[in-house]
Amino acid sequence: MSLPWFIASTFVLLILISLVYDRNALKKVSYTRYFSAKAVYAGEQVEMVEEIMNKKLLPLPWLRLESSIAKGLEFGNQDNLGISSGEISQNHVSLFFLRSFRHIKRRHIVTCKERGRFVLETATMTTGDLFGLSRSAKTFPLQLELLVYPGLLRYNDLPLPVHSWLGELPVKRWIVEDPFLTAGTREYSAGDSLAAINWKATARTGTMQVHQRDYTADSRLVICLNVEISESMWKTVTDVERIELGIRYAATVAEYAIGHGIETRLLSNGRLDGSGARDSVDTWPIAHPEEFLGLLARLNLDRTVPMSRLMEIEADKGEGDTDYLIITCHRGAELQMAASGLSFLGNGVEWLDVPAEGGGEL
């Protein structure tokens, strides 16, 4: 075969290969990505798993996966993985070679450096032929979320006198058995009423079982988390580390209080990431520490209203017999006046000051 015919044949072959890849490269290719846990604490590690499958005869000589995620997650060093960081996000790039009918699972060890809600909405896949004549791209929806809880402090590391006051809260509770709340069953013991017998559980276990009643308490705690650095602050938080310490205080107090059965609410002038609204945070009583920590993970340091205004609204409800813990970087005049309004209604008010860098006094 003469050289011109060879060159022409090669050119035609390359064009055919290019057309085949252009039309079929991303057909029957699937991709999933997930974390090994839905929520972790700041400082802990989690696995991010990528699974990609080529369910056809045509091999993929190269495949590039690219996605963007907010900064705060640190990926370990790994072959065929590139990370580039911007001001608020980082670009995550993985490279693959996929043979015919191949399934690849790749695991990445991720260190969660910061509290927050981390969302991966999409991943873009790009591939083509070996010679670079064709290139195809496809975007895969992920809707993947990881919550990173604030790190908890030790109970005794809370500033005095707050941990002493916190220790008194369980003692103040008035605990009564609630006939309408059931927490399972237990074996019958002398003195139990016949009306409390659970006949289905008795038949199932072969021993006499009675309803285990739950308890209610009249002690209520509202954690007031102020994201203001000073009374004159308008919107932008200028000392993020200091507010983050306040969030850790709130997490530690909530974990202790809820663990001791104390009805606990969160009131904050930050806003929740992912809620679609720019309103301040005012929750219903929370019964599980993980739910409270999840709210703190999603808390965005974007001041919605002055904290004093939130507490005035709280006082306008006219309710008493509630303990308020104000976690704040300042004790401005308006904030102290709002706190006095809550005290006037018969509520307990305690302050937890967030120290400036170095732990100096406010």
Q: What is the pLDDT of residues 297-323, one digit of tens each?
A: 999 998 999 999 999 999 999 988 899
Q: Rounded to two decimals, what is the model's pTM? A: 0.79
CA 157/CA 150 separation, integer angstroms: 15
Is 254 inside any structural domain?
A: yes
Region at 359 (left for phi over 0; alpha for psi -120 to 50; beta for the rest): left
Same domain, 49 and 105: yes
Same domain, 186 and 277: no
Same domain, 67 and 28: yes
Is 5 inside any structural domain?
A: no
Q: How many CB atoms lie within 10 A of CB 63?
A: 21
Is 6 inside any structural domain?
A: no
Q: Which two tokens mark 231?
A: 């009374």
Q: How many CB atoms lie within 10 A of CB 280?
A: 20
Is 12 inside any structural domain?
A: no
Residues 6+ apart with CB under 8 A from 123: 31, 33, 65, 66, 67, 139, 140, 142
- Residue 6, φ and ψ in degrees, nearest 5: -65, -45
- Report how many domains make up the chain: 3
CA 326/CA 266 separation, integer angstroms: 11
Q: Which two tokens mark 186?
A: 């237990």
| DSSP reduced 3-state for 164 | helix
Same domain, 59 and 105: yes
Same domain, 159 and 183: no
CA 314/CA 269 separation, integer angstroms: 13
How wide is the angle at C-alpha 241 spanned by C-alphas 235 and 245, nearest 5°?
Answer: 105
Cα first-last separation, the chain:
89
Is 10 inside any structural domain?
A: no
Tens-digit pLDDT profile for residues 137-157: 999 998 899 999 999 999 888
Whether the pLDDT of residue 358 is over 50: the answer is no
Same domain, 180 and 262: no
Tens-digit pLDDT profile for residues 43-95: 999 999 999 999 999 999 999 999 888 888 988 776 666 666 655 677 888 88
Domain residues for 87?
24-149
Is 17 inside any structural domain?
A: no
pLDDT at 228: 94
pLDDT at 199: 77
Is 126 inside any structural domain?
A: yes
Is 329 inside any structural domain?
A: yes
Residues 6+ apart with CB under 8 A from 114: 42, 71, 72, 148
Same domain, 238 and 287: yes
